[in-house]
Structure 1
Amino acid sequence: AKGIDKSFGDLTVVKGFSTRIQRGDRVGLVGPNGAGKTTLLKMLTGELAPDAGSVRLGVNLEIATLDQKREAVDPAETLAHYLTDGRGENLLVNGEQRHVVSYMKDFLFKPEQARTPVRELSGGERARLLLARVLARPANLLVLDEPTNDLDMETLELLQELVAGFSGTVILVSHDRDFLDRTVTSVIAPEGNGRWIEYAGGYSDMLAQRGGSKLEDRKARSKAEAAEASPKAEQAAPKGPAKKLSFKQKFALDSLPKKIEAVTASIARLENNIADPAFYERDPVSFQKTIAALDKERTTLAALEEEWLELEILREEMEG
């Protein structure tokens, strides 16, 4: 992608973004809901044309996608029938014939579950079934949109292994920091006003790089302000003892990660509730209250993350 832009009316979602994604890269897209992650993802995969700039897709590109909506499955259909499309006991997996029971074992299913109807699956098992179907398709680009939603630990670990073992390129959208740290080679994050920046490494690396950039900016401003205010006094002043965070600041820095984790879990629960297509029809008042609660939690999360980043920058600044 080179210099791509995208706006909807007066809202600029992407402005002047460029990147080169190569075979084998694992790229994470992060940011709050409404930041434009899905729009950027669609432009990078050729599903949506940019207003300006260009996107050049790889030759013979084949895409396999697992998105937030997850495809509908007949609850009465058996696992084997679903995976083979009712064409017997074999299926084609990346050009190779596999027996359905053997392939199911790759996704932690027992042989006897081949005849199990989908309605009897747990949430984690259902997610593994959808992964099995997506990954059976010939593909050199795997697109995962919030793949960790509703996954149990066993399925999450399997997904990490599958992403690591995928021979092509992976682009994924996720709020799961730990998952991103374990799987991606770079992170693309919004910086406001349609500006997106790509950082090397996982989510923690991105935070460190963003914090370092802000820290350098703050140091430069502090030096300039101090020099302008009293250059002679600065030269004459003896060096005092190293500054440290106050007890209140240190307590906040230590406690914020747990608060962020709790709010993130709350957001996941609320998002899971509104993902139920029957929720609005069943109770529209509760649905609207859930939407309002979700917006509030997202605002809280953004504020907590910003507070943590500011304190972390301050700590680094004081420690040298």
Structure 2
Amino acid sequence: TIAAEGGGGWKEYAGGYSDWANYQASVHQAASDKAKVDVRPAARPVAAAAKAKGDKLSWKEQRELEALPERIAALETEQGQLTTLLEDPAIYQRDAKAAQQAAERLAAIDDELMELLERWETLESRAANQG
């Protein structure tokens, strides 16, 4: 099954329309469940504390900034592997539970990547402002 993915993109899915519809429903359900549960109250105090200290990066933040590209690359690699796995139609017939777990991990990776990219952007802008 080939489906429009928004932004002018198309993606091929294994199985028929009902398989695609079930997959989309599970992905959207997992995302909405995550959004309902994930309030993230700790993110704001950390950002406020960082601003209170000034724009200078601490030693720990400098090390974090240096490590972020590697962490992001590792997650993107895992994301690609999971996407390839989920594109294989046989996985849904062979081991539906593994396919579901892979889809859930893929959603978690997306969330984690967004957090890391936002953190990277914050640290980079602070580093640029200090020097």
User: What is the TM-score with the length of structure 1 in the denominator?
Assistant: 0.26
Tell me how far apart the structure 1 counterparts of residues 7 and 83 of structure 2 sit (CA, whole Å): 21
Partner of 2:7: 40
> 2:106 aligned with 1:294, yes or no?
yes
**Which secondary structure state, in structure 2, belongs to the residue aligned with residue 290 of structure 1?**
helix
Q: Using CA pairs under 8 Å that are at least 6 residues apart, name the structure with larger relative contact order, 1 or 2.
A: 2
Tell me how far apart the structure 1 counterparts of residues 107 and 7 of structure 2 sit (CA, whole Å): 22
What code does the residue aligned with 1:289 have? Answer: Q
Aligned with 2:60 (options 238, 242, 248):
248
RMSD, aligned α-carbons: 2.3
Partner of 1:267: 79
What is the aligned residue count?
88
Identity across the alignment (%): 27
Tell me how far apart the structure 2 counterparts of residues 273 and 281 of structure 1 sit (CA, whole Å): 13
> 2:93 aligned with 1:281, yes or no?
yes
Tell me how far apart the structure 1 counterparts of residues 125 and 100 of structure 2 sit (CA, whole Å): 38
Tell me how far apart the structure 2 counterparts of residues 315 and 283 of structure 1 sit (CA, whole Å): 47
Partner of 2:117: 305
> 2:12 aligned with 1:69, yes or no?
yes
Mark the CA change 1:284 to 1:272 in structure 2 (over 3 Å): closer, same or farther. same
Given that residues 56 and 126 in structure 2 are in contact (C-alpha distance below 8 angstroms), is that contact kept between their aligned partners in structure 1? no
The structural deviation recorded for 1:244 is 3.4
Structure 2 unaligned residues grouped into runs of 5+: 14-50
The C-alpha deviation readout for 1:198-223, integer Å capped at 9, x for no partner, is: xxxxxxxxxxxxxxxxxxxxxxxx9x
The structural deviation recorded for 1:40 is 2.5
The structural deviation recorded for 1:68 is 4.4
The structural deviation recorded for 1:315 is 0.8
Structure with bigger gyration radius: 1
Partner of 2:69: 257
Moved over 6 A (4+): none
Tell me how far apart the structure 2 counterparts of residues 38 and 292 of structure 1 sit (CA, whole Å): 19
When you count strand as a share of all residues, which structure comes out higher? 1
Structure 1 unaligned residues grouped into runs of 5+: 1-36, 43-66, 71-221, 223-242
The structural deviation recorded for 1:38 is 3.5
